[in-house]
Amino acid sequence: MSFLTFRSGADIDIILDGAENRKLAEIKSEDGKKDRYYLYYDGETVSGKVNITLKKPGTKLDHLGIKVEFIGEIELYADRGNHHEFSSLVKDLARPGDLIQNTSYSFEFVNVEKPYESYTGTNVRLRYFIRVTIVRRLSDIIKEMDIIVHTLASYPEVNSPIKMEVGIEECLHIEFEYNKSKYHLKDVIVGKIYFLLVRIKIKHMEIAIIKKESTGIGQNTFNENETIAKYEIMDGAPVRGESIPLRLFLAGYELTPTMKDINKKFSVRYFLNLVLVDEEERRYFKQQEIILWRKGEKTRKQIQSQAPQSSEVK
Amino acid sequence: MSTTPATTPSDDKQEKRLDESLGNVKIQSFHMKCCLDRGKLMEALKHASNMITELRTNQLSPKSYYELYMAVCDQLRHMEMYLLDEFNRGRKLADLYELVQYAGNIIPRLYLLITVGLVYMKTTPGSRRDILKDLVEMCRGVQHPLRGLFLRNYLLQSCRNILPDVTVEEIAGDGDGKEEHSGTIEDSIEFILLNFAEMNKLWVRMQHQGHTRDKDRREKERLELRLLVGTNLVRLSQLESIDIERYKNVVLPGILEQVVSCRDGIAQEYLMECLIQVFPDEFHLTTLQPFLHSCAKLVPSVNVKNIIIALIDRLALSKDIDLPDDLFDIFSSQISNIIQSRPDMILEDIISMEGSLINFTIKKINAESKREESIDSVLQSTLNVIKEKCNKARIQYRTNIGKELLKFLKLPITHGTQDGQTSGIAPIKMSLKLKVFKNLLKDVTDLELQKQITLSLLNSALDSGIEDKIIEENRLTLEEIEIFLSELCEPLVKGAAPEELDGMLDEDFVDEQLLLSRFIHYLLSPICVAEDDLDFKYLIISSCKKILAPGGAKRVRFTFPALVFESLDLALKYSKRGSEEDAKWDKKCTKIYQFVNQTISALNESNCPDICLRLYLQAALNASKVGLKTCETLADEFVTKAVSIYEEEICETKERFSSLILIIGAIKEIDFKSAELKQPFASQMPLLASKLIQKPNQVRAILSSSLLFCDDSTISPEAIKCIKKCVKIASSMMDNDLKLQLYIEILAHITLLVSQENQELLEQMKDLNEKILEQKNEVILSESLEKQYNATLNFLQSQNISLDK
């Protein structure tokens, strides 16, 4: 593409409004590296400027039109060629004609709906980007710019603790309690594990956060489990009546909000897995789903209030 | 440790593992310090965590683990210092407190959390309450006994200097009304009590893990670790804000609840003693009831006795505090409560527990009557318990219980006496004052054990002797003497005497009887009776006789002579008083001589003629001096008895000779005024003498009896006749050596008489000397004989008597 671009002789730059004040967020790229992009929230206006610089000044560049698009799409890695766009907004910047000099266009997508969170998983990617296309007869000149979207949620109205008694008859009975069923991403899981009956020689106990990503529907569903955190919470063998405290800070782990049935394409769910390991390395476990959500930060308000300011300046 | 391989790791392996771990600690701590120097806290924490990871091992014995733990703790101090500096540079510790909690493994996580938490609390006093609570709670995650114990020890040691030690009132008194105060004593108590309870649970749990065959090793390991648990109590005792009220209402109930409910012998025994040792006496005094009550609830394997004794002894030694009046009653009822509730408790332990109560009584109850009453009640309850437990069997001296009981019985009599006097007559007095003492001896002990007590009483009296300070109130009444001799001394005065072996009595038996006879003299010494209370002395003597007489021949042989001598002494004392002081003195004396006569006659039943003979003579001599009208008749009677014993019962040659000499000496000494009385004896003696079997003895005895015919002024012809007879007997000797010796002896004897000029006697001497000189030519004189002869000659020369013809 760069070869083509070079030949065609025009560079496209996209400059977002208020970029200097906008927060950046990290996201994993497909190859596992971490990229940083500008962070947007649902309903925020995405506006900016497109600068087109001609490689050979003075040379005419003819085109069939210039457009800017705001796209949200889901890529299933198993289905490479097929990108499912769930959001696509187009603005024409120029009618077909010739570009004789470097030109700058402003664009604005007002209060864009961004229903989903940006996500890079094992089998799926959800991304938002802005694409500028100079339509040409043979090959279009295209520039894409990724942005990251975080979906914020308000405090859940119902957030009851998770309480459960599990066991193996005549062997092990425990009762555990996690203080909530829904945690925000910087939350702390506080809990207790009561031992009601212990007839096995337990060596230790740990709690794991497991991410389950499922893609596709029906027979073509792919499930991928990933252990995000493994956390030892007990060393040694407890006796009946012991209660073991649990406190797990979530902020340090790479977590996303729980995503359910995103555009009928994929889901990401989180589970707490309580594992007891005995002296023969047998593992006894119980998984329990927790809902993760992203809490709005205080800085969010600043950004929102700054956005109109910056537009005012313009 | 439960997870260690089935085989016990050998010492070599242990050492190797420990070295490995210590090596890793060294490396990681080095990196940690390097990172700290360069300000890279995150990396330093990572190395610290790696270092602490060594403590996750389950391959080390408690001892090795301790060493490793110490090494790690040392290094964590560096981290602590650094964090303090960090705080001063403005780092937020709250963030750090969260950060270290991301450590995936619980052991490193908690050690780091404690380290950071400590700095947090030091720098932000307002955080103390919450952090303390949080730390002690989070440590629950380590349920492995050894690792948990050391982790919690680290927690306790780290927090020792920042535990709040103020009361709510004190904070309010400061008046600045801070909303977030830095904690009160209540927080500290709660913290330590919880930590203590958890540590104790872990410690107890060690007992129940692993194979039964490792039980001994496990118990040993547990004992090695007990200090870790006990430190909690020590820490509590160091908090100054814990006053009696708080101790009673909060601290002690918390501890006792844990101790009782853990149902583990090792823990209960150690912790109860620990409690006694670490808290002050005042605290124990206020909390005796709950403490002792808990003792009753301990598991059977606990030796409660040690705990009780430790407590009682501790209070018995206490100074500077007033003990409540009812303390004894509390102890007493709680001890019986404990005995009731622990039917398996062995008797030794019960006895030694009661013993410590007596000890306490002696040391701490000052009022005499109350003290005796208390001791009596201990004796009574001990007696009851023994009766109940022994089921009528007597306690044998040669068993452990016997030894314990002996020790117990000696307590009140060796220490329980007034004015700190623990010897002389006082122990005996005490043994009589205590009503139950003799019951205890008579009802449940065997004879041997009882005898040991008797002997110790007698010895304590006799050891201090009659030179002892006289304390009149300690003197025994007649009734007491009778009870003492007949009941407490029963093993010595009654029962079957041992059989003679080859004519010899058992040595111990003889010693005992001699002791008893010494004691009779002691009873009549000024220690026991006023010097001038002669009537009382007489009563004592006759009581003694009544009690001792049934003891049989083998015993009275040793004890009656003492009575005789004391009686004679008494007679002399009466006679010294004379009729002015005591109108009836002569009647009393006569009665005494009758008593003496009876006593000696009774003694004669026991086949000891030699003793009786001597006693009769002694009585005769004594009677002759008392100045009674009848004194010569009395003396005559006693001598007659002596002579008849001589004639009838003494048959051994040597004994006959020496007895005869004694009789002659006595008659001479008595010096009968009445010729009527004297004559028969005087004429009888030479006859008896000449009946002696050996000629030299005949000579010597006749020589002695010759003196009966002389007095200061006259030498009767009979005396000369005797001497002549002696010379004659000597001449008839075959043995020239002996002959010469006898001649010299006769000559020497005559010198006694030369003060009165007697021609016949002089002739005799000259003849004798001639014979001596004659013999001397044939026989060589022995050195001593030569000396005697020369001395005789020198004496005669000094008297201007020449033996030359």
Residue from A232, A233, A250 whose CB has the most chain B CBs within 10 Å, to mutate: A232
Mark yes or no for CB contact A203/B3 under 8 Å: yes
Residue environment code for A160-180, b if the CB has 16+ CB neighbours within 10 A, otherwise e: eebeeeebeeeebbbebbbbb
B482-509 pLDDT, tens digit per residue, is 999 988 888 888 877 777 777 778 888 8
Amino acid identity of B646?
Y
B644-686 pLDDT, tens digit per residue, is 999 888 888 888 999 999 998 998 888 788 778 888 888 888 8
Residue A224 has, within 13 A of its CA and on its CB side, a CA count of 17
pLDDT computed for residue B176 by the predictor: 53
Checking DSSP bridges between strand A103-109 and strand A46-54, what pairing results, if any?
antiparallel
Does B175 have pLDDT greater than 70? no
Count of residues for chain A? 314
pLDDT computed for residue B120 by the predictor: 94
Q: How far is Cα A235 from Cα B148, in angstroms, rounded to an integer?
A: 9
Angle, alpha carbons A24-A25-A29 (nearest 5°): 125
Angle, alpha carbons A139-A143-A149 (nearest 5°): 140
Partner A, chain B 105-124, Cβ-Cβ below 8 Å? 105-107, 109
More confident: A229 or B371: A229
Q: How sure is the predictor about A4, in pLDDT bands with cuts at 50, 70 and 90?
A: very low
- For residue A224, give the H/E element and its range: strand A222-235
pLDDT computed for residue B529 by the predictor: 87
pLDDT computed for residue A5 by the predictor: 46
With an 8 Å Cβ cutoff, is A235 touching chain B?
yes
Q: Comparing A73-77, B593-597, B749-753, which segment has the lowest mean pLDDT?
A: B749-753
Alpha carbon of A12: minimum distance to chain B alpha carbons (Å): 43
Q: How far is Cα A42 from Cα A116, in angstroms, rounded to an integer?
A: 8
Residue with tokens 């019962």: B649
User: Are the C-beta atoms of B139 and B110 separated by less than 8 Å?
Assistant: yes
Q: How far is Cα B270 from Cα B311, in angstroms, rounded to an integer?
A: 13
Q: Percentage of chain A surpassing pLDDT 70?
A: 92
- DSSP 8-state class, residue B90: T
Alpha carbon of B303: minimum distance to chain A alpha carbons (Å): 27
Q: How far is Cα B163 from Cα B181, in angstroms, rounded to an integer?
A: 13
B330-382 pLDDT, tens digit per residue, is 888 888 888 888 888 888 889 988 998 888 888 888 888 888 889 899 999 99
pLDDT computed for residue A301 by the predictor: 43
Across the interface, of A234, A247, A279, the residue whose CB is closest to B143 is A234
With an 8 Å Cβ cutoff, is B420 touching chain A?
no
Mark yes or no for CB contact B141/A233 under 8 Å: yes
A52-102 pLDDT, tens digit per residue, is 998 887 788 889 999 999 999 999 988 877 889 999 999 999 999 988 889
Q: How far is Cα B323 from Cα B288, in angstroms, rounded to an integer?
A: 12
Domains of chain A: 10-149 (2.60.40.640), 162-293 (2.60.40.640)
| Residue B355, token pair as written in the block | 């013993």
Q: How far is Cα B57 from Cα B64, in angstroms, rounded to an integer?
A: 11
pLDDT computed for residue B596 by the predictor: 92
Does A191 have pLDDT greater than 90? yes
Q: How far is Cα B636 from Cα B643, in angstroms, rounded to an integer?
A: 10
| Residue B742, token pair as written in the block | 């006898």
DSSP output for A126-167: EEEEEEEEE--SS--EEEEEEEEEE--BPPPS--PPEEEEEE
Q: How many CB atoms lie within 10 A of CB B363?
A: 18
**Dmax (CA) of chain A:** 87
Helices (H) and strands (E) in chain A, counts: 2, 22
Residue B280, phi then psi, degrees to nearest 5: -70, 160
Checking DSSP bridges between strand A141-150 and strand A34-41, what pairing results, if any?
parallel
Partner B, chain A 189-228, Cβ-Cβ below 8 Å? 201, 203-204
Does A311 have pLDDT greater than 80? no
User: Are the C-beta atoms of A185 and A295 separated by less than 8 Å?
Assistant: yes
Q: How far is Cα B208 from Cα A236, in angstroms, rounded to an integer?
A: 14
Does B422 have pLDDT greater than 70? no
With an 8 Å Cβ cutoff, is B143 touching chain A?
yes
SS3 content of chain B, % helix, strand, coil (to 5): 75, 0, 25
Q: How far is Cα B406 from Cα B400, in angstroms, rounded to an integer?
A: 10
Give the residue-averaged pLDDT of A209-237: 92
- For residue A267, give the H/E element and its range: strand A266-278
A244-270 pLDDT, tens digit per residue, is 999 999 999 999 999 999 998 999 999
Q: Rounded mean pLDDT of chain A?
A: 88
pLDDT computed for residue A2 by the predictor: 44
Q: How many CB atoms lie within 10 A of CB B693?
A: 9
Q: How sure is the predictor about B5, in pLDDT bands with cuts at 50, 70 and 90?
A: very low
Mark yes or no for CB contact B140/A243 under 8 Å: yes
Q: Percentage of chain B surpassing pLDDT 90?
A: 38
* pTM of this structure: 0.76
Q: How far is Cα B663 from Cα B491, in angstroms, rounded to an integer?
A: 37
- For residue A66, give the H/E element and its range: strand A66-76
Residue B752 has, within 13 A of its CA and on its CB side, a CA count of 17
Q: Percentage of chain B surpassing pLDDT 70?
A: 96
Amino acid identity of B252?
L
B129-161 pLDDT, tens digit per residue, is 999 999 999 999 999 999 999 999 999 999 999
Residue environment code for B241-269, b if the CB has 16+ CB neighbours within 10 A, otherwise e: bbeeebbeebbbebbbebbbebebbbbbb
A127-172 pLDDT, tens digit per residue, is 999 999 999 888 889 999 999 999 998 888 899 999 999 998 899 9
With an 8 Å Cβ cutoff, is B95 touching chain A?
no
- DSSP 8-state class, residue B469: P
pLDDT computed for residue B1 by the predictor: 38
pLDDT computed for residue B208 by the predictor: 85
Mark yes or no for CB contact A245/B56 under 8 Å: no
- For residue B373, give the H/E element and its range: helix B368-390
DSSP output for B492-551: HHSSPPPPPBTTB--HHHHHHHHHHHHHHHHHTSTTTS-TT-HHHHHHHHHHHHHHHGGG
With an 8 Å Cβ cutoff, is B305 touching chain A?
no
Q: CA quadruple A50, A51, A56, A59: dihedral positive or negative?
A: positive
Does B535 have pLDDT greater than 50? yes
Q: How far is Cα B365 from Cα B235, in angstroms, rounded to an integer?
A: 34
Does B26 have pLDDT greater than 90? yes
User: Are the C-beta atoms of B572 and B514 separated by less than 8 Å?
Assistant: no
Q: How sure is the predictor about B752, in pLDDT bands with cuts at 50, 70 and 90?
A: confident
CA-based R_g, chain B, Å: 45
Q: How far is Cα A3 from Cα B591, in angstroms, rounded to an integer?
A: 156
Report how far Cα B53 is from the mean position of its chain's Cα atoms.
58
Residue environment code for B380-396, b if the CB has 16+ CB neighbours within 10 A, otherwise e: ebbbebbeebeeeebbb
Contacts of B367 (CB under 8 A, 6+ apart): none
Q: How sure is the predictor about B9, in pLDDT bands with cuts at 50, 70 and 90?
A: low
Residue A54, phi then psi, degrees to nearest 5: -80, 135
Residue from A176, A187, A235 whose CB has the most chain B CBs within 10 Å, to mutate: A235
| Residue B404, token pair as written in the block | 């314990």
Residue A266 has, within 13 A of its CA and on its CB side, a CA count of 29
CA-based R_g, chain A, Å: 25
Residue from B140, B147, B201, B204 whose CB has the most chain A CBs within 10 Å, to mutate: B140
Residue A180 has, within 13 A of its CA and on its CB side, a CA count of 17
pLDDT computed for residue A305 by the predictor: 40
Does A307 have pLDDT greater than 60? no
| Residue B419, token pair as written in the block | 């004015």
| Residue B478, token pair as written in the block | 């007649």
The ipTM estimated for the assembled molecules is: 0.88
With beta carbons under 8 A apart, name residues in chain B contacting A192: none
From the list A101, A31, A77, A8, the residue with the least C-alpha distance to A215 is A77
